[in-house]
């Protein structure tokens, strides 16, 4: 599998052509996409045209971008001008946005080549990519197992070598959990460091765009490109992108690594074993392991499944069959609304809309949504106290390795528990990333999660790079 840094170096020097790189990845897609279903749409013709232009520009002496010739896949909830963007939902099937998401513009300006739009749980609501209206994505490492979700297609695309990198969105773990299950690196940056403009909203106070790559250096390279202030996003932090590649080789000597002593129960022994191995590796590299407590973490799942559905209920009200998307005609306006949403939304999306609508309804707002916001504050306070003693915190990414298809679909609560270790950082707005760290049951990959405080990406990447080197 080619790395971003190697592709850019080769294309820039002329030892590789962008066209050859793209053809190699398209060949892999052709060979296995029917088996994996990572994509909702493969944009082969456009990828070839973009690659040819990059090659022509380099031949003409023009300076290539930081991602020259790198094949990248985009989660199908990021707007791409004139290219179908469905959120894996029937209600948006056929919709072509009139503009690009900011991250798409930044990647294109850097010379990236888009090979397609990846499958996801409908409107990013799920942990297995089984909730897509267009069928599930399979884990490339074992096709009887899920790739995780909701960004399962993006994780699978990198794991299978269909793209050198991909972008996903993370609302409660939707980048990190599939990264862990597919054996790749996945990063959720600090809320506000990457523009959300052009990301179809699920829960606006939680959603964040981030990269999937095959190693930590590539993740740092890609995150540097897509980060930075965007005036089109009111939640964007007004600062330039943080330098990340420059810190990767500095080691972790003297750093304080947090071990959470009151983690929620339910983590499989093989995953906990790899977590302990990660602590050992960092200790050997000169770091100090510090025990910390996060008492409010036990309430995170409950708080999240009130806040996120409440925001989803508000955000998804725009899909009414009037302004865009599909419409089911009926006798009157209200009947048309109901018929359109009944036909267009899948069961999990309907479930979360109803949960959110209930939590926001008169008489229940203070009892449910209001209390969830107070818990969110407590979680942030707990993290703040923990980071007074530590530079980063290590936890499992997922409670288990990739599970079999259908094993959790009949029990929504069991599916929701897949995100128990990833949700806290979304509620706090902090950065976190999953790093592959060996294998567990059935020789499937295990991800270790590295957490840091607000804008603590440099410390997070230093630790991630050390973990990678230690293997």
Partnered with residue 328 across adjacent β-strands are none
Question: What whole-number distance in Å separates Cα of residue 42 and Cα of residue 30?
Answer: 10
Instruction: Select from 409, 315, 404 the least CA-distant residue to 353.
Output: 315
* Type and span of the H or E element at 23: helix 18-36
What totals of helices (H) and strands (E) does the chain contain, helices first? 15, 11
- Is residue 293 annotated as part of the catalytic site, yes or no? no
**How confident is the model over 173-181, as a mean pLDDT?**
98
Q: What is the pLDDT of residue 282?
A: 98
Q: What is the pLDDT of residue 410?
A: 84
How far is the CA of 434 from the CAs of 180, 231, 262, 317, 394, in angstroms? 6, 29, 20, 33, 10
Confidence of residue 439 (pLDDT cuts 50, 70, 90): very high
- Residue 41 pLDDT > 90: yes
Confidence of residue 323 (pLDDT cuts 50, 70, 90): confident
Question: What whole-number distance in Å separates Cα of residue 243 and Cα of residue 275?
Answer: 28
Partnered with residue 74 across adjacent β-strands are 117, 167
Question: What whole-number distance in Å separates Cα of residue 313 and Cα of residue 349?
Answer: 9
Q: Positive or negative CA dihedral for 397, 398, 401, 405?
A: negative
**How confident is the model over 172-178, as a mean pLDDT?**
98
What's the pLDDT tens digit per position in 335-363? 999 999 999 999 999 999 999 999 999 88
Confidence of residue 305 (pLDDT cuts 50, 70, 90): very high
Whole-number percent of the chain with pLDDT over 90: 94
Domains recognised in the chain with CATH numbers? 4-245 (3.90.1300.10)
Fill in the DSSP letter of residue 453.
S
**How confident is the model over 251-264, as a mean pLDDT?**
97
- Residue 77 pLDDT > 80: yes
Q: From the candidates 154, 174, 236, 434, which is the catalytic residue?
A: 174
Crossing angle between the packed helical segments 269-284 and 457-470, to the nearest 10 degrees: 100
Mean of all residue pLDDT scores within the chain: 96
Fill in the DSSP letter of residue 449.
E
Tokens 């230690």, residue located:
470
Give the tokens for residue 222: 């890609």
Confidence of residue 257 (pLDDT cuts 50, 70, 90): very high
Q: What is the pLDDT of residue 412?
A: 84
Give the tokens for residue 375: 């818990």
Q: What is the pLDDT of residue 387?
A: 98
Strands 288-292 and 392-396: unpaired
- Residue 317 pLDDT > 90: yes
Q: How long, in residues, is the chain?
A: 471
* Type and span of the H or E element at 436: strand 432-439
Question: What whole-number distance in Å separates Cα of residue 314 and Cα of residue 308?
Answer: 10
Q: What is the pLDDT of residue 254?
A: 98
Confidence of residue 392 (pLDDT cuts 50, 70, 90): very high
What's the pLDDT tens digit per position in 231-247? 999 999 999 999 999 99
- Is residue 150 annotated as part of the catalytic site, yes or no? yes
Burial of 326 (0-12, 13-18, 19+ CB in 10 A): middle
Q: From the candidates 88, 89, 128, 150, which is the catalytic residue?
A: 150
> Do residues 435 and 374 make contact, with C-beta atoms less than 8 angstroms apart?
no
Q: What is the pLDDT of residue 404?
A: 97
What's the pLDDT tens digit per position in 144-161? 999 999 999 999 999 999
**How confident is the model over 94-108, as a mean pLDDT?**
97
Q: What is the pLDDT of residue 409?
A: 85
- As a three-state string, the secondary structure of 182-251 is HCCEEEECCCCCECCCCECCCCCCCCCEEEEECCHHHHHHHHHHHECCCCCCCCCCCCCCCCCHHHCCCC
Alpha helix ranges (H) inside 317-442: 333-344, 347-360, 371-387, 412-416, 423-428
- Residue 181 pLDDT > 80: yes
Q: What is the pLDDT of residue 464?
A: 98
- Residue 1 pLDDT > 80: no
- Residue 315 pLDDT > 90: yes
Tell me how far apart the 2 most distant CA atoms of the chain are, in Å: 71
- Residue 93 pLDDT > 90: yes
Q: What is the pLDDT of residue 311?
A: 97
Q: What is the pLDDT of residue 325?
A: 87
Tokens 């259908």, residue located:
406
């Amino acid at each position: 599998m080619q790395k971003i840094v190697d592709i850019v170096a080769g294309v820039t020097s002329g030892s590789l052509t962008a066209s050859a790189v793209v053809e190699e990845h398209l060949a892999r897609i052709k060979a296995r996409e029917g088996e994996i279903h990572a994509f909702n749409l493969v944009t082969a013709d456009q990828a070839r045209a973009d690659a040819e232009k990059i090659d022509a520009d380099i031949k003409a002496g023009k300076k290539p971008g930081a991602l020259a010739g790198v094949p990248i896949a985009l989660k199908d909830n990021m707007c791409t001008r004139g290219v179908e963007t469905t959120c894996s939902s029937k209600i948006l099937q056929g919709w072509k946005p009139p503009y690009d998401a900011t991250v798409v513009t930044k990647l294109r300006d850097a010379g990236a080549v888009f090979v397609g739009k990846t499958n996801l749980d409908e409107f990013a609501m799920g942990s297995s990519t089984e909730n897509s209206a267009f069928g599930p994505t399979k884990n490339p490492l074992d096709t009887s197992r899920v790739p995780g979700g909701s960004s399962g297609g993006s994780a699978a695309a990198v794991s299978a070598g269909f793209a050198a990198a991909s972008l996903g969105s993370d609302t409660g773990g939707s980048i990190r959990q599939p990264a862990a299950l597919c054996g790749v690196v996945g990063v959720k940056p600090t809320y506000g460091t990457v523009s959300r403009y052009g990301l179809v909203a699920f829960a606006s106070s939680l959603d964040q765009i981030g990269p999937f790559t095959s190693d930590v250096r590539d993740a740092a390279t890609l995150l540097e490109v897509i980060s930075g202030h965007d005036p089109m996003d009111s939640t964007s932090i007004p600062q330039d992108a943080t330098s990340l590649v420059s810190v990767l080789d500095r080691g972790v000597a003297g750093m304080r690594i947090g071990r959470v002593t009151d983690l929620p129960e339910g983590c499989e022994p093989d995953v906990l074993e790899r977590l302990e191995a990660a602590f050992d590796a960092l200790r050997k590299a000169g770091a100090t392991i510090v025990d910390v407590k996060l008492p409010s973490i036990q309430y995170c799942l409950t708080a999240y499944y009130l806040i996120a559905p409440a925001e989803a209920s508000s955000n998804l009200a725009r899909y009414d069959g009037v302004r865009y998307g599909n419409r089911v005609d009926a006798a009157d306006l209200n009947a048309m609304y109901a018929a359109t949403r009944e036909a267009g939304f899948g069961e999990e999306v309907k479930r979360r809309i109803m949960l959110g609508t209930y939590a926001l309804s008169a008489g229940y707002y203070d009892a449910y949504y209001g209390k969830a916001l107070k818990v969110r504050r407590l979680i942030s306070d707990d993290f703040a106290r923990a980071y007074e003693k530590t530079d980063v915190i290590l936890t499992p990414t997922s409670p288990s390795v990739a599970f079999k298809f259908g094993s959790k679909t009949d029990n929504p609560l069991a599916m929701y528990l897949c995100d128990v270790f990833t949700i806290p950082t979304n509620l706090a707005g902090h950065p976190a990333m999953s790093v592959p760290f060996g294998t567990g049951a059935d020789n499937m990959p295990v991800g270790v999660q590295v957490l840091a405080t607000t804008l603590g990406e440099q410390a997070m990447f230093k630790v991630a790079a050390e973990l990678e080197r230690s293997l």
